Amino acid sequence: MAIDSILISKLHSLLGENRVITHLDELIVFECDGLTLHKQMPDAVVLPKTTEEVSEIIKLCQTNHTPFLARGSGTGLSGGAIAAEGGVIIQMSLMNQILKIDYEDEIAVVQPGVINLNLTNEASPDGYHFAPDPSSQKACSIGGNVAENAGGPHTLKYGVTANHVLGLTVVMPSGDIVELGGKIEEFTGYDLVGVFVGSEGTLGITTEITVKLTRNPEGVKTFLATYNTINDASNTVSKIIESGIIPAAMELIDNLIIQAIESHLKAGFPTKADAILLIEIDGVKSTLTEEAKRIESICLSQNAVNFQEAETMEERDLLWRGRKEAIGALGKVTPAFYTNDGVIPRSKLPEILEFDLEIGKKYGLEVAHICHAGDGNIHPIILYNPDNKNEIEHAIKISEAILKKCIELGGALTGEHGIGTEKLSSLGIMYSDNDQNQMLKLRKVFNPTGLLNPGKIFPEGAKCGESRINQTINKGGWI
Amino acid sequence: MISADHLERQLRTIIDGNRILPPQPSIPVKITVFPENEQQIGELVKWATKDRITLLPLGGGTYIFPGIEDLHVAISLTKMNHKIEHVSEDLIATVPAGMTFKEVQADLSSHGQMIPLDQPGKHVSTIGGIVSANVSGPSRHRYGTARDWVIETRLINADGEAVKSGAKVVKNVSGYDLNKLYIGARGTLGILTHISFKLAPIPESTVTFRSCYNSLTDAYALTHLIRREYLDIEKMVIIKGKWTPGKAKHWWVLIEISGSENGLKPQIEHLSKLHDQVEVRRWNITSKEDSQHFWNVACNREKSDDSVPKEDIWEVRMVLPKRELLPFLVDLSILGEMDASFNILPTSGICTIGIAGKESTVTDTLNSIIKEVKVKKGWVEFVKMPPDSNFERWPILPPSFPWMQKIKREFDPNNIFAPGTFIGGI
Ligand SMILES: Cc1cc2nc3c(=O)[nH]c(=O)nc-3n(C[C@H](O)[C@H](O)[C@H](O)COP(=O)(O)OP(=O)(O)OC[C@H]3O[C@@H](n4cnc5c(N)ncnc54)[C@H](O)[C@@H]3O)c2cc1C
Ligand SMILES: Cc1cc2nc3c(=O)[nH]c(=O)nc-3n(C[C@H](O)[C@H](O)[C@H](O)COP(=O)(O)OP(=O)(O)OC[C@H]3O[C@@H](n4cnc5c(N)ncnc54)[C@H](O)[C@@H]3O)c2cc1C
């Protein structure tokens, strides 16, 4: 769809020439997000500075029957931030102010373009942080976190983004500006904030967000448990949960990823281990020693060959740096990779990991793991050669088979990356037509013309979009 | 006018006669049915749509308010299959909506696990009712609300179909999270049949501190102090009047801390020292039996040993920004009155006030509460009021209210689910 020149000139008069991008060589940056598998060029990108400007842009798009969507930092991993059916991308990065931090009410009010980690950095001198901590937190925006209901390693104890959002200012697809929720702990009537979080930018565009701030714990202990088999490591996970301990984080990393991390930076992970668990507990200091002992004994009972505690803050930071930079490090061991975001009930962890490795073997590709294991969010990473068409096809087949298996085991298609364009065709294996129709009622309420972020989540509206998306895998996704 | 006889004849074509009963006196319907399974509920919904019958989803019936008009048929899920699907190693359970909370908790506790929400006032309260009412109590400080624990629901929708939202996993962004919409929807969007929860481990041991104060400000001082400290607080509430664990005229704070036997000792010492830093009349660590009784009183489960002069007939629940709650309450003219009761969750900005007196004598007080709360961008719900009162149950409509109406119209186009009983006549 070529964009209407009248629309462009109206956008120019609204925002000035500098904040409207239409040149092809500048637009190319916006043709995909972190999922390089799916590509589609927008026709224009605009950079609003205020809620009112967002509203005006939306009204112009609606009048011109042009699709539009918001984009934060473009780190999404399911194709959510691409213009699947062309049209206008509303880039939120100029709306990047922390408007208010209030420690008495334990809240912050931010614009959507604020980078996740910046909020935590701002609050940390006062002993607070923003709890959702995706591994992309140095880059991703809080607006994107809200849209994807982002999680992170510490989601296990502290919950996902939805548990930390109190209020939103939203520009509806009609252009109406509406306050949902507020600066209070609970709201009356239907929980509109609750359904907006995680709706992948398909119900409205968020321009202001009130989040809860979380007090830093008094004490933290971080452990590294080493295993000779991945099975022992995954068995440990549900044994710990069942024993009544909810660690702050519990991550499983397998040998392939350990190798990559250690060749990238010396984080201190044992390169001979089949798998390790990175376990963190936090809370009131006096309770931690005992909890640590219980965790150690569970790990050893499940055949951990080594169990050690990070002795200094530096050691702890290095372990976490290793975890968070693991994906960047993967570039050293493979030319490309494809990340899957399936979730299973955590007691099924041993079963799904075995399945992943088997299915990888069947198609002749290696599958590596860096799981948010405590949450059952498995993140298998399929390594492949982007110049080999066969391998590309096999990578996709492996990923689809894993998702199917997750659903068979009572799990879900995606724990934190969203359906986006990526998993449209899989939605039906998790939800019946009736289930999907019930969800579509919500979209009809807020986005009746379907012009906001079309071609996402639901396969029915995607048909036209899918054909436009260029299915090429090159450098692979992240986690 | 549709008569109960007519309804009964129609219902008998769908459901066994012994599952059709006259309503309890407090339930504003003509007749109650107790379906056996989801399929029957689906058929009831389809019949209701065709014949323009209104339905009231019903649990224990403890939190049902009259709507604009009387409804036709209450659908109670209390006689459906009571089988809990509990996977303890996953810390997850799927529970039939018609089971009582008490029954479910008893079952889970044998595995050392729980749904970490407060047991409401009455033992008959059901899982479906608790999730649909979404009222929280003193556990909220640590555990939040149903919204933080529900991970999957099955609901019979307006088409009479069973629809699922979410999954039995703790993290999931597949499709819209409709669970959030159903929680607190008061039965106006459909009938919940099953609900899956994340569970929490039951703490190894707990200890309750009770303290008594001359003024609300003094009581608040303790809870303020605590916010700056590190303690594993399980529950916390500030109370006066009918909810008190002692003399009703004083202000009281109840705090429960938790941990392992050993982990608790230093915390007990720490919290004891904090009590010495505030203007407290007296405080103590309560015995196991007393603790249970005091928490039951604070949560409406038992009556206080000391009685307030007059039984209240008004109960108003309000939510304000946390920092605004104390100054707001301090300015209230009824703060010191003998027959006013207060139940405050200070770390959540939530307060319930019980007031005695005829409408003519309390109108000014209630109006000034509503006015002030509105200014502070909070909200108010009348949890208890005389049936003939002129007050709106939800006197403050949020700016997003028109969108709530649109949701109701889309999810319940024939307006069959508890019409007129929710905010703004939804
Ligand atoms: C290395 C790496 C590691 C990652 N680790 C994690 C992880 O641990 N946990 C996790 O959850 N995710 C992770 N992700 C995925 C990604 O970072 C998150 O989904 C993040 O929340 C996306 O934020 P963003 O600002 O980049 O959003 P974008 O990618 O720009 O957009 C994502 C979606 O949000 C919508 N959106 C953005 N802003 C708005 C707005 N203001 N209003 C309405 N809709 C909006 C877009 O339309 C799109 O649908 C990772 C990604 C990478 C690259
Ligand atoms: C600590 C505490 C103390 C409380 N004390 C009191 C008190 O003293 N007095 C009081 O009135 N309340 C009190 N409550 C409120 C309490 O939430 C309700 O009493 C209870 O949750 C309702 O459960 P129920 O089974 O009786 O539901 P019902 O009263 O039967 O129903 C409540 C609402 O949920 C809907 N509903 C019920 N089941 C379903 C279903 N399966 N699907 C869809 N919708 C459904 C109904 O239509 C109705 O709108 C208290 C709550 C707490 C947490």
pLDDT digit string (tens) for A100-157?
Answer: 999 999 999 999 999 999 999 999 999 999 999 999 999 999 999 999 999 999 999 9
Residue A467 has pLDDT above 70, yes or no: no
Retrieve residue A438's tokens.
């019930």
Chain B residue with minimum CA distance to A160: B171
Pocket test for ligand 2, best of B80, B117, B135 (most atoms within 8 A of CB): B135
Contacts A242 to B, Cβ<8 Å: 88-89, 91
Contacts B157 to A, Cβ<8 Å: 434, 438
Contact A443 B177 (CB under 8 A): no
In this predicted structure, what is the pLDDT of residue B335?
85
Closest Cβ opposite residue A441 in set B136, B323, B411: B411
Ligand 1 centroid distance, CA of A422 (Å) = 14
In this predicted structure, what is the pLDDT of residue A18?
95
Burial per residue of A437-457, b for 16 or more beta-carbon CB atoms within 10 angstroms, e otherwise: bbbbbbbebbbeebbbbbbbb
In this predicted structure, what is the pLDDT of residue A479?
36
Contact B426 A192 (CB under 8 A): no
In this predicted structure, what is the pLDDT of residue A327?
84
- Tens of pLDDT along A351-407? 999 999 999 999 999 999 999 999 999 999 999 998 999 999 999 999 999 999 999
Contact A186 B91 (CB under 8 A): no
Contact B175 A283 (CB under 8 A): no
Residue nearest to atom 16 of ligand 1 (CA): A76
Taking the CA of residue B418 as reference, the ligand 2 atom at the shortest distance is 47
In this predicted structure, what is the pLDDT of residue B122?
85
Chain B residue with minimum CA distance to A214: B227
In this predicted structure, what is the pLDDT of residue A289?
92
Residue nearest to atom 34 of ligand 1 (CA): A144
Contact A346 B145 (CB under 8 A): no
Ligand 2 centroid distance, CA of B167 (Å) = 24
**DSSP letter, residue A424:** G
Contacts A290 to B, Cβ<8 Å: 260, 262-263
The answer to whether A243 and B111 are in contact (CB under 8 A) is: no
Contact A189 B422 (CB under 8 A): yes
Contacts B395 to A, Cβ<8 Å: none
In this predicted structure, what is the pLDDT of residue A462?
38
Contact B185 A285 (CB under 8 A): no
* CATH class (in words) of the domain with range A218-330: alpha beta
CA atoms within 13 A on the CB side of A105: 23
In this predicted structure, what is the pLDDT of residue B311?
81
Contact A434 B162 (CB under 8 A): yes
CB A166 near ligand 1, within 6 Å: no
Residue from B89, B110, B168, B174 to probe the interface with A (highest A Cβ count within 10 Å)? B174
Cβ pairs A/B, distance under 8 A: 244
In this predicted structure, what is the pLDDT of residue A448?
97
Domain ranges of chain A: 5-91, 98-215, 218-330, 334-427, 428-475
- Mean pLDDT, chain B, whole residue set: 95
Residue A242 has pLDDT above 90, yes or no: no
How far apart are the CA of A271 and the nearest CA of chain B, in angstroms?
30
Contact A427 B174 (CB under 8 A): yes
**What three-state secondary structure class fits A5?**
helix
Q: What is the spatial distance between Cα A354 and Cα A386, in angstroms, rounded to a whole number?
A: 25
Cα-to-chain-centroid distance, residue B327: 25
Contact B400 A180 (CB under 8 A): yes
Residues 296-335 of B with CB under 8 A from A: 319-323
Ligand of minimum distance to the alpha carbon of B74: 2
Predicted confidence band at A235 (pLDDT cuts at 50, 70, 90)? very high
- Tens of pLDDT along B106-128? 999 999 999 999 999 889 999 99
The answer to whether B372 and B328 are in contact (CB under 8 A) is: yes
Q: What is the spatial distance between Cα B105 and Cα B119, in angstroms, rounded to a whole number?
A: 9
CATH ID of A334-427, from 3.40.50.2300, 3.30.70.2740, 2.40.128.20, 1.10.1040.10:
3.30.70.2740
**What three-state secondary structure class fits A312?**
coil
Of A30-39, A167-176, B86-95, the poorest mean pLDDT is in A30-39
Residue B360 has pLDDT above 60, yes or no: yes
Residue B339 has pLDDT above 90, yes or no: no
The answer to whether B76 and B58 are in contact (CB under 8 A) is: yes
Mean pLDDT of B142-149: 97
- Tens of pLDDT along B371-399? 999 999 999 999 999 989 999 999 999 99
- Tens of pLDDT along A172-181? 999 999 999 9
Residue A460 has pLDDT above 90, yes or no: no
Residues 54-73 of B with CB under 8 A from A: none
- Tens of pLDDT along A17-52? 999 999 999 999 999 998 887 899 999 999 999 999
Mean pLDDT of A83-94: 97
Contact B173 A376 (CB under 8 A): no
Residue nearest to atom 22 of ligand 2 (CA): B129
In terms of Cα–Cα distance, which of B228, B225, B223 is closest to A127?
B228
In this predicted structure, what is the pLDDT of residue A477?
43
Give all domains of chain B, ordered by start, each with its CATH number: 4-79 (3.30.43.10), 85-201 (3.30.465.10), 205-298 (3.30.70.2190), 308-410 (3.30.70.250)
In this predicted structure, what is the pLDDT of residue A2?
66
Closest Cβ opposite residue A439 in set B170, B178, B377: B178
Q: What is the spatial distance between Cα B176 and Cα B178, in angstroms, rounded to a whole number?
A: 6
The answer to whether B273 and B222 are in contact (CB under 8 A) is: no
Q: Which position has the higher pLDDT, A459 or B187?
A: B187
Closest Cβ opposite residue B169 in set A106, A197, A376: A376
Ligand 2 centroid distance, CA of A292 (Å) = 40
> Is any Cβ of chain A less than 8 angstroms from the Cβ of B273?
no
Ligand of minimum distance to the alpha carbon of A143: 1
* CATH class (in words) of the domain with range A98-215: alpha beta
Cα-to-chain-centroid distance, residue B270: 32
The answer to whether B423 and B404 are in contact (CB under 8 A) is: yes
Q: How many CB atoms lie within 10 A of CB A272?
A: 10
Predicted confidence band at A473 (pLDDT cuts at 50, 70, 90)? very low
Closest Cβ opposite residue A184 in set B173, B262, B378: B378
Residue nearest to atom 19 of ligand 1 (CA): A76
Taking the CA of residue B121 as reference, the ligand 2 atom at the shortest distance is 5
Contacts B177 to A, Cβ<8 Å: 149, 162, 194-195, 197-199
CB A147 near ligand 1, within 6 Å: yes
CB A327 near ligand 1, within 6 Å: yes
Contact A438 B422 (CB under 8 A): no
Contacts B405 to A, Cβ<8 Å: none
Q: What is the spatial distance between Cα B140 and Cα A201, in angstroms, rounded to a whole number?
A: 30
Residue from A185, A341, A427 to probe the interface with B (highest B Cβ count within 10 Å)? A185
Contact A149 B147 (CB under 8 A): no
**Are both A5-91 and A98-215 of the same fold?**
no
Taking the CA of residue A112 as reference, the ligand 1 atom at the shortest distance is 41
In this predicted structure, what is the pLDDT of residue B273?
97
Residue B138's alpha-carbon distances to B116, B134, B303, B361, in angstroms, are 11, 13, 17, 31
Contacts B183 to A, Cβ<8 Å: 191, 194
CATH number of the structural domain A5-91: 3.30.43.10
Ligand of minimum distance to the alpha carbon of B189: 2
Chain B residue with minimum CA distance to A184: B321
Closest Cβ opposite residue A287 in set B200, B260, B422: B260
